[in-house]
């Protein structure tokens, strides 16, 4: 537990050497501009008749940038649930988001001794608290973050592994994880519609798993040297991120870093690498990183929609045929991709190269 950044960062005045990134990867002193034309999708419109227009916007953003932000999802979301005849806890909107953010901060504030049972670097544990990355013991430089990770879907299989403290953690996070999962499925449905794939394409296999991480990035004495997370693109199908009010999420566009400003009640949606493969490179998977700041802690919640590990991933035949082009990648099992990802030390693009069809 003493390795958690939050355990020792208040007692240091400078960044310890094993948190200092080399010059070519560290953020440096230059101010990063805010992405001014960040695509913002208003989901409410999708429910009120402009669905095709919204689908077009989602696809355009996914092709151009590989990510977008969405606003105000809960009103249409409710209608959608009624339409889908699902019975889940979805009554609260902004309140649920605020309540969830509240328990995230509360969780990280709990004294270390009360969280110690969750602390682990064992990847087999489905709920664990750790710091930096799973490779803490071998990585040359550590990340300026503490993380709680847990699986979420199906909920009854995992909820008993989640923290008991704060006492409402399971209840609130359970509701939140279901709502966010349903949101991902709705967005995936829009994407499959836009790509002219069959309804329900992203079903129990491609979107069969959900994982949530809570990130705590404590204030850092020199944000120019350290990183919360290094450059990567998400290796899954799709990620939904809530970053509340503190900047720190940056995307790489045309070789330049841009900050993505948080909007209250808006989610960032990242297209994952598996979606890039399935769309045969039509959709992009944004490269991003997390920088720290010296003033206030930053808390985020990321919900990862993942394929089941045995799922076969490859460029969708119908798309390749429709576009009359060649598949760019060979088919693989998701677990083989994950293994290659490990071997390439989390370098998403190098990992994709392994599965690229040459020539």
Query: Which of 302, 313, 328, 352 is close enough to bind ligand AKG by CB under 6 A?
Result: 302
Q: β-strand 256-259 against 229-232: which pairing, if any?
A: unpaired
CB of 91 to ligand AKG, least distance (A): 27
| Residues with Cβ within 8 Å of residue 242, at least 6 apart in sequence | 97, 100, 101, 267, 268, 300, 301, 302
Position of minimal CB gap to Fe ion:
234
φ/ψ bin of 48: left (φ > 0), alpha (ψ from -120 to 50), beta (otherwise):
alpha
Nearer to ligand AKG, 46 or 127 (CB): 127
- Of these, 100, 215, 274, 303, which contacts ligand AKG (CB under 6 A)? 215
| Cβ contact 249:241 at 8 Å | yes
CA nearest neighbour of 249 among 275, 215, 276, 281: 215
Closest CA to 231 of 340, 69, 349: 349
How big, in percent rounded to 5, are the helix, strand and coil portions of the chain? Answer: 35, 20, 45
Q: Are 278 and 312 in contact (CB under 8 A)?
A: no
190, 202 in Cβ contact below 8 A? no
Residue 121 burial class via C-beta count within 10 angstroms: exposed 0-12, middle 13-18, buried 19 and up:
middle
Specify the residue, 44 or 209, whose C-beta has the smaller distance to ligand AKG. 209
- Residue 328 contacts which entry, ligand AKG, Fe ion, none (Cβ below 5-8 A, type-dependent): none
Interaction pattern, residues 219-258, with ligand AKG; x per rule: CB under 6 A? ----------x----x------x-x----xx---------
The window from 105-113, 144-152, 162-170, 229-237 that contacts Fe ion (CB under 5 A) reads 229-237
Tokens 């509340």 label which residue? 244
Provide the minimum distance between the beta carbon of 342 and ligand AKG in the complex, in angstroms, as a whole number. Answer: 16
Q: Which residue has the tokens 């005849």?
A: 85
Question: Two tokens at 209?
Answer: 């798993």
Q: Give the closest residue to 121 by CA, choosing from 107, 104, 137.
A: 137
Instruction: Give the contact letters, 4-33, x = binds to ligand AKG (CB under 6 A), - = no.
Output: ------------------------------
Among 44, 209, 234, 284, binds Fe ion (CB under 5 A): 234
Nearer to ligand AKG, 96 or 229 (CB): 229
Helices (H) and strands (E) in the chain, counts: 11, 14
- The answer to whether 287 contacts Fe ion (rule: CB under 5 A) is no
Q: Does 290 bind ligand AKG (CB under 6 A)?
A: yes
| Least spacing, CB of residue 17 vs Fe ion, in Å | 26
**CA-closest candidate to residue 221, choices 20, 19, 12:** 12
Nearer to Fe ion, 209 or 234 (CB): 234
CB of 357 to Fe ion, least distance (A): 26
- By CB under 6 A, name the one of 213, 224, 265, 293 that touches ligand AKG: 213
Q: How far is the CB of 120 from ligand AKG (least distance, A)?
A: 18
* Distance of alpha carbon 278 from alpha carbon 356, whole angstroms: 12
What is the smallest separation between the CB atom of 243 and ligand AKG, expressed in angstroms? 5
What residue number has its CB nearest to ligand AKG? 300
Binding status of residue 284 toward Fe ion by CB under 5 A: no
Q: Which residues bind ligand AKG (CB under 6 A)?
A: 213, 215, 229, 234, 241, 243, 248-249, 288, 290, 300, 302
Q: Which residues bind Fe ion (CB under 5 A)?
A: 234
């Amino acid at each position: 537990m003493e390795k958690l950044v939050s355990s020792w960062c208040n007692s240091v005045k400078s960044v310890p050497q094993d948190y200092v990134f080399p010059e070519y990867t560290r953020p440096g002193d230059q101010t990063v501009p805010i992405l001014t034309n960040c695509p913002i999708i208003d989901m409410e419109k999708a429910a009120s008749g402009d669905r095709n227009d919204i689908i077009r916007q989602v696809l355009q953003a996914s092709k151009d940038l590989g990510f977008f932000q969405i606003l105000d999802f809960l009103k249409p979301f409710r209608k959608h649930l009624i339409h889908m005849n699902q019975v889940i806890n979805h009554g609260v909107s902004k309140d649920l988001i605020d309540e969830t953010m509240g328990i995230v901060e509360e969780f990280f504030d709990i004294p270390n001794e009360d969280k110690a049972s969750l602390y682990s670097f064992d990847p087999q544990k489905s709920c664990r608290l750790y710091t930096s990355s799973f490779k803490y013991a071998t990585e040359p430089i550590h990340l300026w973050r503490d993380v709680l990770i847990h699986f979420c879907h199906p909920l009854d299989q995992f909820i008993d592994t989640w923290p008991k403290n704060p006492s409402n953690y399971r209840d609130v996070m359970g509701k939140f994880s279901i709502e966010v999962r349903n949101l991902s499925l709705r967005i995936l449905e829009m994407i499959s519609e836009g790509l002219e794939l069959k309804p329900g394409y992203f079903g129990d296999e491609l979107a069969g798993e959900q994982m949530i991480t809570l990130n705590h990035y404590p204030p850092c004495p020199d944000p120019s040297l350290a990183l919360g997370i290094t450059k990567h693109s998400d290796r899954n199908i799709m990620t939904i991120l809530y970053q509340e009010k503190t900047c720190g999420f940056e995307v790489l566009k045309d070789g330049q870093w841009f900050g993505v400003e948080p909007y209250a009640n808006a989610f960032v949606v990242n297209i994952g690498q598996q979606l890039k493969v399935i769309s045969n490179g039509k959709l992009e998977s944004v490269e991003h990183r997390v920088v720290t700041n010296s003033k206030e802690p930053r808390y985020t919640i990321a919900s990862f929609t993942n394929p089941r590990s045995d799922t076969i991933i490859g460029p969708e035949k119908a798309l390749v045929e429709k576009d009359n082009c060649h598949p760019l990648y060979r088919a693989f099992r998701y677990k083989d991709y994950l293994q290659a990802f490990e071997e390439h030390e989390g370098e998403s693009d190098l990992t994709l190269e392994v599965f690229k069809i040459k020539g």
